[in-house]
Structure 1
Amino acid sequence: MSIKESAMIAVRDCMGVKPGEKVLIVCDTERDFIGVPLYEAAMELGAESIYMEMKPRTRSGEEPPEVIADAMLHSDVVIAPTVFSLTHTQARKKACLNGARIATIPLTEGTKELITDMFSTGGMTADYFRMRDRIEQLYKLQQGTKTAHITTPLGTDINVEFAGREWHMDTGLALNKGDFTNLPGGELFIAPTSANGKLVVDGTFGDWGLLDTPLELIIKDGVCVDARGAHADDLKKLFEELGPDARHMAELGIGMNPKARLWGILLEDEKVGNTIHMALGNDCGFGGTCTVAMHCDGIVTHPTVYVDGKKLDIKEFL
């Protein structure tokens, strides 16, 4: 499959773009090779397609320029292939509340060739409607749950609390007003209220890509109190720069895309089936209260997950 074909799938199938709709492509100078095909696909479908390009942000969760945020607010559809993620921004949240259907495509890691390969052959090739049905099945089972206990062979042993918070689905489909997704999609996620234990990240971590050696995060009362191993020093520098909110445990996610693979590109890696991910930083866009300009995910492979004391077999839903 080519980039042009993947772009058409994204615009036509995942976003349901119709003739005459106002479709805004928010890109940056580093990801135009994804942004331009999306713009052209929307034009081909008869949309009022608009392309806006900015300089890359400095980290995921940083707000776009005001002129772009305003344009997002007045669009029917927004697709954002960028280096750093616009997912956890007020601009994205406000535009969704105003009715825009939005897909973010944060491509922080990887060469042009690797990203092109991923977008053409990985998670974008999933059967999105079948995957949506499976995610909805698991979503219904998780309603009203309160806690999770997660372990892995590498030493993860963490208890996560989320009573009163709502699970969210990322199906890769944004067909109704206010819908939001990543592309490729494929996860179920929630903002914890607290967490305690050790998280051993052995997949991709934040904007640093696929780890050569694991990173251990020590979590106490929903806060990262220590980091050891790969990129621990880099993470601690962010803590110093951004303050205590950057240590906040922001997300528990379950990867559910059967076609996704570990590329070292967080966008797809967090969707890999039978993985979980947890994030530090901003969670205000999906039920939390932390607004710090950072959202840093860590992928954990081969997890054993118990929800409210009952074992969850993620593979059954792939």
Structure 2
Amino acid sequence: MLERMEMMKPVGNILDQCLALKKGEQLLVLADTDNLRIGQLFMLAGQDRGAETMMLTYKPRKRHGEELPPVIAAAMKAADAIVAPTTFSVNHTDARKAASNAGARLIFFPGCKEEMFLDGSLDIDFAKQAEVIARLSKVLEDGKSVRVRSNDGRTDLRFEIAGRHAVPQNGICHEPGTISPPPCIETAVAPVEWTTEGTAVIDGAIVPGGEVLEPVEIRFEKGRIVHIDASGKDGKYMADLLKSYNDENIYAHVELGFGLNPNARIGRGIELEDEGEFGTIHLGIGNGITFGSPIRASGHIDLVIRHPIVEVDGQLVLKDREVLI
């Protein structure tokens, strides 16, 4: 009972601070069968706030970005606000895109676990972090080229972002069509397709998967991963995971994301914290339609780098876990 009461605080924080849920609004709670208890807490909290609250459940998908049943897609499109505690992400789907285009506000929790409602990662000042995200987003919005390096020289990656829009996900979804996946507080941008060149060492996490304990070197040519060092356990996992999609576009670079949650930590077993830890970046590969990329794939994977050095048009914007703007 005590644990349930502790979980209700961040649940309420999401509905109040993140969604600004109003009395009479239609709130859709979308929970797969692995997350029924969390879904029920959101349902109770929504009803307590006077929202017309509905809960739909479904069998967990097999991968991030796998499409949802048509009846759920229709309900998402009709809702004013949506919370989605699920095993795999609803973000990279046509159903989510249609719901956003119709004006639904969406908070989604892929890789959802009850621990994230107890470890403090959702107990942050979302408005304060939104200021940092806005500053960094503007640099990405105005930028033309990006370079990602590491202190040891093993990571050196370049790509173009000219004409691409930044996609801030600051946890605040007060305007129609806005989305965010707290505790992954971030801003992101899609590289111009097929421009990514160079080498990156993935030493943070593979999402889905978990914390990387044996850093994995990968090489990009013309925007695609062309080599994965599979000599270690994590490298083999990554190579096998990508191969399992049987989709050439799963190797395409479609996102540069900046983790900006000061309370998130890699290694807690929660995917959204793995890619949300402050001062990290993630390279998204696969499906990129939600970031403004035309590249479509059967899934989306994030590869996290712990201590990157990032420059935009030669301006240093991130080093030693500090945003320098």
Normalised-by-shorter TM-score class: over 0.9
1:317–1:101 CA distance, 2 compared to 1 (3 A) = farther
Q: Is the 8 A contact 1:190 1:251 kept in 2?
A: yes
Asked if 2 retains the 8 angstrom alpha-carbon contact of 1:150 and 1:159, the reply is: yes
Q: Alpha carbons of 1:317 and 1:306: their partners in 2 closer, same or farther (altered >3 Å)?
A: closer
Q: Which amino acid aligns with 1:315?
A: E
DSSP-derived class of the 2:191 partner? coil
**Matches for 1:233-248 after TM superposition, within 5 Å:** 233-237=236-240, 238-239=242-243, 241-248=245-252
Q: Which of the residues 297, 302, 305 maps onto 2:302? A: 297
Q: Which residue of 2 aligns with 1:228?
A: 229
In structure 2, what is the Cα distance between the partners aligned to 1:90 and 1:270?
A: 23
Alignment correspondent of 1:143: 141
Report whether the alignment pairs 1:312 with 2:317: yes
Q: Do the aligned residues in 2 keep the contact of 1:134 with 1:317 (CA within 8 Å)? A: no
| 1:172 has 2:179 as partner | no
Give the corresponding residue for 1:192: 191
* Contact 1:103/1:182, CA 8 A, preserved across alignment: yes
> Residues 199-249 of structure 1: CA distance to partner in whole angstroms, max 9, x if unpaired?
111111021111221122211111011111444444444336432111111
Q: Hey, what's the Cα distance between the residues in 1 that align with 2:289 and 2:140?
A: 21
Match of 1:82 in 2: 86
Secondary structure of the structure 1 residue equivalent to 2:134 = helix
Structure 1 residue 117: Cα displacement: 3.1
**Residue number in structure 2 paired with 1:288:** 293
Maintained 8 Å contact 1:135/1:317: no
Provide the secondary structure at the position in 2 that maps to 1:124. coil
Per the alignment, in what secondary structure is the counterpart of residue 123 of structure 1? coil
Question: How large is the Cα RMSD of the aligned pairs?
Answer: 1.8
Q: Which runs of 5+ in 1 are unaligned?
A: 109-114
Report how far residue 264 of structure 1 moved: 3.5
Unaligned runs of 5+ residues in structure 2 are none
1:267 to 272, 288, 293: 272
**Match in the other structure for 2:103:** 99
How far the C-alpha of 1:148 sits from its partner, in A, is 1.3
Identity %: 33
Distance 2:151 2:209 in 1: 23
Question: How many residue pairs get matched?
Answer: 312
More displaced 10-residue stretch of structure 1: 120-129 or 41-50:
120-129
Deviations, residues 53-100 of structure 1 (Å, cap 9, x unaligned): 111100001111111111101100111110011111111111000010
Code of the residue aligned with 1:187 in structure 2: it is E
Q: How much has 1:4 moved relative to structure 2?
A: 0.9
How many angstroms apart in 2 are the aligned matches of 1:164 and 1:105?
Answer: 29
- The corresponding residue for 1:201 is 202
Cα pair 1:138 1:317 within 8 Å, conserved: no
